[in-house]
Amino acid sequence: MRALLGSGGFRTEERRQLYNDEMRRHFGDIKRILFIPYALHDHEAYTNLMTERGLNAGYEIDGIHRHADPAKAIREAEAISVGGGNTFRLIADLHRLDLVDLIRDRVINDDLPYMGVSAGTNVACPTMQTTNDMPITQPSSFKAIGLVPFQVNAHYYAGSIWVKHEEEFVEHFGETRDDRIREFHEMNETPVVGLWEAGFIRVENDQFELIGAQARIFRKGCDPYDVEPGCRLVELG
């Protein structure tokens, strides 16, 4: 089983380079990737944007919405990539179209390589409950594909946030990301990997390697700790 799970925030030249290098290493010598654009509203525009923004690593990006039978498209795919956007919208569509178990089956049993970024990483986890997104639609279930035995919090950052008000930085007093993950552990047991922007987790069966950025590991009842890129993430199963 092989998955490449990105945090998002691939907005600088250096980050896009890493993104493309990792994507090529992950998918190897194939031509076409089946792309799931359900996290954004305009599926066709999103699919085209991946190539226009140079986030296709030379592969042909084939939007699943172009197929009359999305389940058949997944059954026939050589590789699958799930893009970012709103995780509630993405998981609602995956459940509505009955694709969650099918994707898990193909990735786990047929070695179909999976790539997810941001929302696409959230849905690779046991549930989508560590998303940062707004619940713009109510999915039938928060259960997700479950390729890994931990949750990822994408676009992770530590500490407070600041906003600019008339060119001055003003501290924002909403919950920090660590507050939110602590609250997650008041109601759930699964470990959470807070993955900084530009980072990836390379998954090969039960091996998890951190690439490109730091991560902070949160386990219920334990102090969180930071992991440097290049390290293996252990004891997350």
What are the catalytic residues? 118, 133, 155
- Judged by CB, which is closer to a copy of itself: 160, or 207? 160
Q: How far is the CB of 113 from a copy of itself (least distance, A)?
A: 25
Q: How far is the CB of 84 from a copy of itself (least distance, A)?
A: 9
Encoded one letter per residue, x for contact with a copy of itself by CB under 8 A and - for no contact, window 197-236 reads x---------------------------------------
Residue from 161, 222, 226, 232 in contact with a copy of itself (CB under 8 A): 161
Footprint (CB under 8 A) of a copy of itself, residues 121-150? 128-138, 141-142
Of 63-71, 103-111, 152-160, 221-229, the segment contacting a copy of itself by CB under 8 A is 152-160
Residue from 31, 32, 53, 172 in contact with a copy of itself (CB under 8 A): 172
- Judged by CB, which is closer to a copy of itself: 68, or 163? 163
Q: How far is the CB of 233 from a copy of itself (least distance, A)?
A: 21
β-pairing verdict for 80-82 and 32-36: parallel
